[in-house]
Amino acid sequence: MLAIAGFSAGPAQAMESTQLREHLCKTVGGGKFVRIPGFPGERIDRRLLNDVAWMKRRYRIFITDGYSTDPIHARNGEHPLGLAADIIPNRARGGTWRKIGKLARRFEPEQNVVKMPFRWIGYNGDPNHGRGNHLHLSWAHGSKTRFGHPVRRVYTRFCPDAADGGDSGGTGDSGGTTARKAGWPGLSERERANLAPVVPERY
């Protein structure tokens, strides 16, 4: 496994990323809420920036909400942790609902059978989500959380850039998990047991 070390801006906190398998990275430490390049007013955990940049290029997404403590979102969900994104097509860049649907199906080929690195996906079949409304993506993470603060352990498609402060999106191009392990290759039994439980969003 490949380990990558870096440091977050602000108080010294080591960030260590481990490539568990192709397109699955575990990062411990280094969490920080930063601006999402290209999406004014939106923030997210900086460790997700390379995933967001990939989706932006490939699926022409537009993020309408990221980190948020607004009570419209589940208090024990991922928005208050900076590990969620609400997505619609970026029409100005050629985005369509067809592309958004392809992104949703890539990681949720069957209803509630979600592939890593995501914890829960809200789209067609989920109330207040779906085509014409929005796609919700929640990234998987460790079970220890604190409302409004970054989590210690997070899983992403691409490892974060060690020196990324959050003002650029990275160039990597390389919702909840169920009892079915199709989306879990690369995780040990202990890591699976310590994933945070699924929390569907109402909106």
Residue extents of the structural domains in the chain: 2-193
pLDDT of residue 37: 96
> What are the phi and psi torsion angles at 96 (to 5°)?
-140, 160
Average pLDDT over residues 62-79: 96
pLDDT band for position 167 (cuts 50, 70, 90)? very low
Nearest CA among 191, 82, 99, 60 for reference residue 145: 82
Mean pLDDT of the chain: 86
pLDDT of residue 63: 98
CA–CA distance, 202 with 192 (Å, rounded to integer): 25
Average pLDDT over residues 135-153: 96
Question: Measuring CA to CA, how many Å separate 11 from each of 26, 30, 48?
Answer: 21, 10, 20
What pTM value is reported for the model? Answer: 0.84
Residue with tokens 């191009």: 173
